Structure 1
Amino acid sequence: MKASDLFVKALEAEGVEYVFGIPGEENLDLLESLRTSSIRLILTRHEQAAGFMAATYGRLTGRAGVCLATLGPGATNFVTPAAYAQLGGMPMLMLTGQKPVKLSKQGHFQIVDVVDMMKPLTKYTRQIVSADNIPARVRESFRRAEEERPGAAHLELPEDIARDETDAILLPASYHRRPIADDKAIAHAAAAIREAKRPLLMIGAGANRKTCSKMLREFVDHTGIPFFTTQMGKGVIDEHHPLWLGNAALSDGDFVHRAIEQADCIVNCGHDVIEKPPFFMRRGLRTVIHVNFCSAEVDTVYFPQIEVVGDVANTVWQLKQSVAPQPHWDFAWFDTVRRHLEAHLARGADDARFPIHPVRLVADVRACMPDNGILCLDNGMYKLWFARYYRSRQPNTLLLDNALATMGAGLPSAIAAKIVHPQRKVVAVAGDGGFLMNSQELETAVRLGLDLTVLLLRDDAYGMIKWKQAHMQFPNFGMDMGNPDFVRYAQAYGAQGHRPGSTAEFAPLLAHCLDTPGMHLIDVPIDYSDNDRVLNHEIRELSRAI
C-alpha cells in the first residue's frame, strides 16, 4: 500500500470526519488518498482559519480536529492555532508536508524546521521518516492530543515518504478509562467542605470539556452550595440556576468577588491556570480544593491545600455521596450578593441609545438565541460584556477564548461549530478588528452552504486596547482605523449583508437572520463609552456597598 493511503486509513480508523486546510504540492499524494476516502476536505482560505476550525471541532467533540498545510509558509501559519489549541485545552492534529528527506533537489527552498518550531506549542510533534512508522505515529498523536489535558499535536509527512510502499498494519486504539480519585483524597476534601462555614463551588474550563454537567448540577442541588464560573466554564450549569453567583469576567472588584472574599472553602472544579485567575489566593484566608483530571500547576496566585486528582465527574459524584447539607453552613451573604447581582445585570437591558449599548446588545442576543444555540466569540472588548451578562444555559454554548485570547478565531470557530451541529443556531460575534483578520472565510461558509450569522460589532478601532490606553491615562494614539462597507463586503462574497438603523431594529433583524437560510452578516455600530464607568467604577462601587 502507498504510504499516503495508509496514512488516510489511519485517520479514518481514528474516526476523522473532516480535514480543514490548504494543500500544497508536497501534499499531493496525501490529497489523492483523501479524495477516495470517507473523509471530507474542507478547503479554507487561510491555514490559520483551518487551525481554528480544527481546534473548535476538538473543543466541541472531544476528538482531535485535523488540519492540513504544506511546508514553509503554510506550516508557519499554524503557529497561532497551535497555541490556541494548546492553551485552550482543545484536541487538534496538524498535518504538514515537507520536501523529500531522502534526496533533496531544491536545497533549502521553503524549508524551515517545522518540528522544532512546534515543540514548545504542542504535546507531540514528529517527522515521519519511514512509511512503516505511520500507524504508530498517527495513533500516538491522537492519544496525546485527546488525553487530559487535551491540546495540539503535529505530524510532518515528507512527499517522498508519502509515496513509498509499505505493508505496515494499523494499530487499534487501546481500551482505557480515566483513572478515578483516591478514596482518601475524596474523604479529605469532603471533610473540608463539611467543616467549612461558607463553602463555594467554582467551575472552570476542565469541567466544560467532559460530561461533568449532570454531576455538578446534582452536587449543587443536593448540597445547596452556591457556584460561580470562569469564562471558559460558562454553561456547565444553567446560569439561571438560583444558586448561580455570576462569572469571573473581571479580575477583581465584581459582585462575585464579594462572595469569594467571604468563602472559607472554595472547591475548584476544572480550574486551569491558563485562564486569568478567577480569584487571588492569599495565605491563610481559605481552603482551596483542586478537583481536576490533572494535578494542580502551582503559581503565585494558585496553591491549593487539597488536591483530588482523577475523573472530574466521578469525583463530583463521590463528593455528593459524602457531603450532606450542614446545619452550620451560612449562605446568607451569598444570597445578598446574588440579589444585588441580579438587579445590576438587568440594568441597561432596555437602553435605547444608538449606536447600541453593550448591555442592550447582550440582552437582545440572549433573547433571540435558543438555549442550545452557540455563540462563537472572537476576541475584543465585547468579550467582557458577554462573559458577564450572557447567561449560558447549556455547556459549550458560549465559545470564548480566555487562554490565548487571539483575534481572528470567531468566524472560523463558528463555521466549525455549524459543521459539528448543523441543526443548531450558530452566531459568530466579532469586532471589526478581529473579523477582518479572517473575513475571507465568508467565502468558505458560503461555498459550504452554511446557515450562519456573523454579528459584527463596529467601533472603527481596536477597542479593547483603546479602552485600556485611556484607562492608563495615555493619549489616544494608534488605535483608530477605517473600515469597508461591511454590508457590500458580505454581498461580494455571496452572503447577505444587513445594517440596523436603530437599536429597536436590531433584535428583529437578528431573529430574521437566524430563521432565514444562508450566510448573514449584521453590521452593528456599538457604543463602548460606558466601558470605564460600568466595568471599572459602577460595579466596584455597588459591590463594595453590599
Structure 2
Amino acid sequence: MKASDLFVKALEAEGVEYIFGIPGEENLDLLESLRHSSIKLILTRHEQGAGFMAATYGRLTGKVGVCLSTLGPGATNLVTPAAYAQLGAMPMMVITGQKPIKTSKQGRFQVIDVVDMMRPITKYTAQVVSGDRIPSVVREAFRIAHEERPGAVHIELPEDIAAEQTSAPLISPTQGRRPIAEYKAINRAVEMIEQATSPVLLIGAGANRKLTAKMLREFVDKTGIPFITTQMGKGVLNETDKLFMGNTALSDGDFVHRAIRRADLIINVGHDVVEKPPFFMEQNGQQVIHINFDSAAVDPVYFPQLEVVGDIANSIWQIKEKITPQQGWKLDFYCDVHDAYVAHRSESEDDDRFPVLPERFVRDIRKAMPDDGIVTLDNGVYKIWFARNYPAFAPNTLLLDNALATMGAGLPSAMAAKLVYPNRAVLTVCGDGGFMMNSQEMETAVRLNLHIVVIILRDDAYGMIKWKQAHMNFDNFGLDYGNPDFVKYAESYGAKGWRVDSTEGLLGLVQKCLNEPAVHLIDCPVDYSLNDQTLNKTIKELSQEL
C-alpha cells in the first residue's frame, strides 16, 4: 500500500480519534489517506492552536493527542505547543511534513532541520526515511509519549516517503504494566508516617494522572492526614474537604507554607520539578517521603530521606493497607489553618466594586460552574487567584499550566476539553493579552459548533508583568495597549458577544451563557490594583492570623 495509508492505519491502531492541524502541500498524500480513515481532521487557524488542542486532549484522556503541520514555518509554529506538552507531562505527537529527501529540485526553500529543532523539547524525534520503517517509528513514538513521565514526540514524514509503496506489516500496540515499589520502601514509609508527630500530604502534578485520586481519597479517609496541592495537582481530591489546607499558588508565606513548616513529615506525592517548589528542605529534622513514578532529582533544596518509586496509585494503596492511624498525631493546628485559609479567601468575595475584583470574579465562576464543569486558564495574574481561591471538586476540572506557563493556550484548551467531554460545561478565562495570541480559533470553535464560554479579563495591559513592574519599583513603561471591541469581534466570527457592565450582573450572565448552546465571548473589565495589597497581606500578616 501507499506509505501514507500505512501511516494512517498505524495511527488508527493506536486509537487516534483526532488530528488537529494545518496541512501543507508536503502533507497531501497523508491528507488523502486521512480522508478515507476513521480519524477526524480538526482544521485550525494556527498551528499553535492545533498543538495546544492536542496537548490538552492528551492531558484529559491519558492518550496521545496528535497535531499536524507542514514543513518550515508550519513546523516552527509547533515548537511552543511541543514545549507546553513536554514540560506539562502531556502525551502528544507532532507530525510534520518535509520536502522530498531522495531527490529535490527546490534546494533549501523552507527547509530547516526540524528533527534537530525538536530534539531538546521532545522525548523522541525521528524522520521516516522509508515506508517500511513506519510501523516501528509510530509504535515507538506512541510508547515513549505515553510512558511516565508523559510528554511530546515528533515524527517527520517527507513528501516522497509518504508517496512510496510499502508492504511492511503493522506493529500492534501492547499494554505495559508499570513497576510497583519495593516492599521494603513501603514498610519504611509506613514506619515514618506512624512515627511522625505532624504529617502532611502534598499532592503534585504527577498525582493528577493515572487515576491516582481514588487511592489518595482512601488514604486520606483512613488516616485523616491533611493535604495540600500544587497548582497542577488541583482537584485530585475534593477541595471542599476540611482536611484541605490550600494550594501553593504563591511562592511563599501563604497558609499552605505555614502548614508545611509546622509538619515534621511531608508525604510528597507526584512531585514534579517543573513546578515552583512549595518548600525548601533544610537540615532541621523535617523529613520528606518522595512517592512517584521516578526517583527524585536531588538538588540543594530537595533531598528526600525516603523514595518510594513505582506506580503511585499502587504505592498509596499499599501504604494505606498497612498503616495504622496514630493517636499521637498532632493535627489540630491544621484545622486552624483550614479555617483561616477559608476566611481569608472569602474576604473580598462579596465586593461589588467595578471593574470586578479577582476574588469576586473567581467566586462567581465557581458558583456558575457545575461540579464537573471544566475551566481552562490562559496565563496571567488571574491564574494565581484561581489556583488559590477556586475550589476544584474533581481531577482536571481546573486546567492551568504551571509548567511552560505560556500565553495563548486557554481558548484551544477549552475547545479540546469540549470535544473530549461534549456533555460537560466548559469555560475558559483569558487575559486580553493571551486571548489575542490565538483569538483566530474562535472561527474554529464556531465551525465545530462547540458550546463554550470565553471570558476575557480586560485590563488593556500585560497585567501580570505590569503588576510585577510596579512591585519591583520600576516606572510604568511599555506594557499598555489597545483592544478591539470584543463584542463586535466575537460577532464577526458568528459567536455571541457580551459585555459586563456591573459586578452584580456577572454571575447571571455567565449562567445564561452556560445554558445557551453557542460560542459565547464575555468582555469583563477587571481591577488588579488590589493585587499587591491583598497578596502582601497574605505574606506579611498570616503569622498573626494563625
Instruction: With the length of structure 2 as denominator, give the TM-score of the two structures.
Output: 0.99
Structure 1: 5+ residue stretches without partners = none
Aligned partners of 2:253 and 2:538 also within 8 Å: no
Counterpart for residue 213 of structure 1: 213
Answer yes or no: is 1:333 the counterpart of 2:333: yes
Q: Distance in 1 between matches of 2:33 and 2:443?
A: 26
**Residue 314 (structure 2) aligns with:** 314
Q: Distance in 2 between matches of 1:352 and 1:410?
A: 27
Q: In the alignment, residue 238 of structure 2 is paired with which amino acid? A: D
Asked if the contact 2:252/2:539 (under 8 Å) is kept, the reply is no
Please state how far the C-alpha of 1:539 moved relative to its aligned partner. Answer: 4.5
- Tell me if structure 1 keeps the 8 A contact 2:58–2:65: yes
Percent identity between matched residues is: 67
1:159 aligns with 2:159: yes
Residue of structure 2 in register with 1:74 after alignment: 74
For structure 2, the residue ranges without an aligned partner over 5 or more in a row are none
Q: Determine the C-alpha separation between the residues in 2 that align with 1:299 and 1:104.
A: 49
Taking the TM superposition and a 5 Å limit, the aligned residue runs for 1:460-471 are: 460-471=460-471
Aligned residue identity for 1:403? A
Q: C-alpha distance in 2, partners of 1:539/1:347?
A: 15
Shift of 1:342: 1.4
Deviation at residue 544 of structure 1 after TM alignment: 4.4
**Structure 1 contact 258–544 (Cα < 8 Å) conserved:** no
Deviation per CA, 1:436-465: give whole Å up to 9, x if none.
000000000000000000011000000000
Letter in 1 for 2:152: A
1:38-77 maps to which residues of 2 (within 5 A)? 38-77=38-77
Q: For 1:498, what is the secondary structure of its paired residue?
A: strand
Match of 1:300 in 2: 300
CA drift of 1:473 comes to: 0.4
Partner of 2:431: 431
> In 2, are the aligned partners of 1:487 and 1:499 still within 8 Å (CA)?
yes
Pair 285,530 (structure 1): closer, same or farther in 2 beyond 3 Å: farther
- Contact 2:254-2:538 at 8 Å conserved across structures: no
Matched, 1:396 2:396: yes
CA distance in 2, matches of 1:201, 1:144: 30
Q: Which residue of 2 aligns with 1:172?
A: 172
Matched, 1:474 2:474: yes
**In the aligned structure 2, how far is the partner of 1:98 from the partner of 1:235?**
41
Q: Distance in 2 between matches of 1:41 and 1:536?
A: 48
Contact 2:22 2:44 in 1 (8 A): yes
Deviation at 1:300, TM superposition (A): 2.6
Measure the CA separation in 2 of the matches of 1:418 and 1:174: 29
| CA distance in structure 1 between the aligned counterparts of 2:206 and 2:90, rounded to whole angstroms | 11
Aligned 8 A contact 1:248 1:278 in 2: yes
Task: Give the structure 1 partner of residue 117 of structure 2.
Answer: 117
Quote the Cα distance in structure 1 between the aligned partners of 2:35 and 2:460: 43
Report deviation, 1:323. Answer: 1.4
User: Distance between the aligned counterparts of 1:491 and 1:26, measured in 2?
Assistant: 35
How far apart, in 2, do the equivalents of 1:276 and 1:24 lie?
Answer: 39
Partner Cα separation in structure 1 for residue 210 and residue 99 of structure 2: 39
Partner of 1:447: 447
Alignment of 1:195-344 (within 5 A): 195-344=195-344
Check whether the contact 2:16–2:66 (CA below 8 A) recurs between aligned residues: yes
Provide the C-alpha distance between the structure 1 equivalents of 2:290 and 2:221, rounded to a whole number of angstroms: 21
Give the number of equivalent residue pairs: 546
- 1:84 equivalent to 2:84? Answer yes
- Residue type of the alignment partner of 1:388: R
**Kept in 2: contact 1:254–1:543 (CA 8 A):** no
Could you tell me whether the CA contact under 8 Å between 2:460 and 2:483 is conserved in 1? yes
1:416 corresponds to: 416
1:363-374 matches, within 5 Å, as: 363-374=363-374
Show the counterpart of 1:386.
386
Tell me the CA shift for residue 299 of structure 1: 2.3
Q: CA RMSD in A?
A: 0.8
Residue identity matched to 1:19: I
1:208-249 alpha-carbon deviations (Å, 9 max, x no partner): 111011110110010010000000000000000110000000
Secondary structure of residue in 2 paired with 1:457: strand
Change (3 A) 1:24 1:155: same
Q: How far apart in 2 are the matches of 1:21 and 1:151?
A: 18
Q: What amino acid sits opposite 1:5 in the alignment?
A: D
Residues in 1 aligned to 2:221 and 2:489: alpha-carbon distance in whole angstroms? 49
- Show the counterpart of 1:541: 541
CA distance in structure 2 between the partners assigned to 1:537 and 1:466 by the alignment = 20
Please give the per-residue CA displacement for 1:258-287, whole angstroms capped at 9, x wherever unaligned. 111110000111110101111122123411
In 2, Cα distance between the equivalents of 1:413 and 1:353?
31
Q: Which residue of 2 aligns with 1:525?
A: 525
Counting only pairs closer than 5 Å after superposition, residues 127-166 of structure 1 correspond to structure 2 as: 127-166=127-166
One-letter amino acid of the counterpart of residue 258, structure 2: R
Please tell me whether the aligned partners of residues 198 and 262 of structure 2 are also in contact (alpha carbons under 8 angstroms).
yes
Worse overlay, 1-10 or 317-326: 317-326
User: 1:61 corresponds to which letter in structure 2?
Assistant: T
Task: Give the superposition deviation at 1:349.
Answer: 1.1
> Hey, what's the Cα distance between the residues in 2 that align with 1:449 and 1:32?
25
SS at match of 1:436: helix
C-alpha distance in 2 between matches for 1:303 and 1:456:
42
Q: Is the 8 A contact 2:86 2:152 kept in 1?
A: yes
